[in-house]
């Protein structure tokens, strides 16, 4: 089947990496279904892609709402690619004082949200005969750092979901790809983490010559998704050159 008729679902497509991935996959020939809670933003992007002659639709969805996720899955004619991108961090407090509510929220969106959408779309992905599940974890899913435990725990959960699913469905026509980005300067990620505090958000990237952009990660996702069907890119860890590890970043300050 040509990619022109294939459908790719992107969660969290209203900003950052998800929006850039929706663009890249639409440019690669997929019909892209953009989902996120902010309907206006995904509708605007779908309209922009449509005006450029690409194929896109918008569907407002909170991935933590299982009934809504099931209704969304039932609304699709087909699904060939699922990009589980919805997620993020809340707070950067030490374990001693971190807010359990933040930990719960991060687990709900990054892990349970990914579980909901993956479970709901797996039958369609399998029925496609050539399905792909992408899980956006993070380098936080591969190593911890001070102040990061809640997010690190959640992204470890997302990583384990991807690794385990790959074991469980081997032999079925569905690939499972984990993309683990390091530092990516997106408009909202750090602002959300620090609850709108622009100064704290800016410090994350202070002096770093070139943090990754949303499009750098989208390019990586689109590359992994568009490999031949028998090629499963299990895991890609992608960092800017200035970041050697979660705790070793070169800053020109
Ligand atoms: N930026 C980084 O440095 C970095 C590094 C590694 C991994 N990541 C991961 O990459 C993904 C995208 O990050 P980003 O930097 O592009 O952040 P972002 O701009 O803050 O995007 C997060 C997206 O998730 C959506 N979202 C949040 N909660 C949701 C929910 N309950 N249901 C549905 N959608 C929800 C948001 O849309 P709505 O608010 O409209 O729902 C938004 O589109 C996240 O999983 C993040 O953890 C980011």
CA nearest ligand 1 atom 29, residue:
86
Residue 82 Cβ contacting ligand 1 at under 6 Å: no
Range of the domain at 102: 3-245
Q: Is residue 27 in some structural domain?
A: yes
CA nearest ligand 1 atom 15, residue:
189
Q: Which residues contact 161 (CB under 8 A, 6 or more apart)?
A: 111, 114, 115, 118, 135
Residue 109 Cβ contacting ligand 1 at under 6 Å: yes
Report the catalytic residues. Answer: 151
What number of residues does the chain have? Answer: 253
Residue 85 Cβ contacting ligand 1 at under 6 Å: yes
Q: Is residue 77 in some structural domain?
A: yes
* pLDDT tens track for 58-91: 999 999 999 999 999 999 999 999 999 999 999 9
Q: Is residue 115 in some structural domain?
A: yes
Q: For residue 5, what pLDDT is reported? A: 82
Strand partners, 197: none
Distances (CA, A) of 238 to 84, 105, 202, 219: 17, 25, 21, 11
Q: Is residue 101 in some structural domain?
A: yes
* pLDDT tens track for 167-181: 999 999 999 999 999
Count of domains observed in the chain: 1
Distance from C-alpha of 159 to C-alpha of 47, rounded to nearest angstrom? 33
Distance 193 CA to ligand 1 centre (A): 10
Q: Is residue 252 in some structural domain?
A: no
Distance from C-alpha of 199 to C-alpha of 191, rounded to nearest angstrom? 9
* pLDDT tens track for 97-107: 999 999 999 99
CA 181 to chain centre: 10
- Picking from 46, 62, 83, the residue whose alpha carbon sits closest to that of residue 214 is 83
Q: Is residue 253 in some structural domain?
A: no
CA nearest ligand 1 atom 43, residue:
12
3-state class (DSSP) for residue 214: helix
**Which ranges of the chain does DSSP label H, i.e. alpha helix?**
16-27, 39-51, 66-75, 100-107, 113-127, 149-168, 189-193, 198-204, 214-225
pTM summary value: 0.98
Q: Is residue 187 in some structural domain?
A: yes
Answer left, alpha or beta for residue 193, where phi above 0 means left and psi between -120 and 50 means alpha.
alpha
Distances (CA, A) of 234 to 124, 178, 180: 21, 6, 11
Q: Domain holding 94: CATH number?
A: 3.40.50.720
Distance 176 CA to ligand 1 centre (A): 20
Distance 85 CA to ligand 1 centre (A): 6
């Amino acid at each position: 089947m040509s990619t022109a008729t294939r459908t790719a679902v992107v969660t969290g497509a209203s900003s950052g990496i998800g929006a850039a991935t929706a663009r890249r996959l639409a440019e690669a020939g997929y019909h892209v279904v953009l989902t996120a809670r902010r309907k206006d933003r995904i509708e605007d992007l779908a309209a922009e892609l449509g005006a450029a002659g690409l194929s896109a639709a918008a569907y407002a969805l909170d991935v933590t709402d299982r009934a809504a996720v099931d209704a969304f899955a039932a609304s699709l004619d087909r699904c060939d690619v699922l990009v589980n991108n919805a997620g993020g961090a809340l707070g950067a407090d030490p374990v001693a004082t971190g807010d359990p509510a933040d930990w719960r929220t991060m687990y709900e969106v990054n892990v349970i949200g990914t579980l909901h959408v993956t479970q709901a779309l797996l039958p369609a992905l399998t029925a496609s005969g050539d399905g792909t599940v992408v899980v956006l974890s993070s380098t936080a899913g591969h190593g911890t750092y001070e102040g990061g435990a809640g997010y690190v725990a959640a992204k470890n959960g997302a990583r384990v979901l991807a690794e385990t699913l790959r074991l469980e469905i081997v032999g079925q026509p569905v690939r499972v790809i984990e993309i683990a980005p390091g530092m990516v300067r997106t408009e909202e990620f750090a602002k959300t983490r620090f609850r709108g505090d622009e100064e704290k958000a800016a410090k994350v990237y202070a002096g770093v010559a070139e943090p990754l952009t949303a499009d750098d990660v989208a390019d990586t996702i689109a590359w992994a998704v568009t490999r031949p069907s028998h090629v499963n890119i299990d895991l890609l860890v992608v960092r800017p050159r200035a970041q050697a590890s979660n705790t070793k970043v070169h800053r020109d300050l």
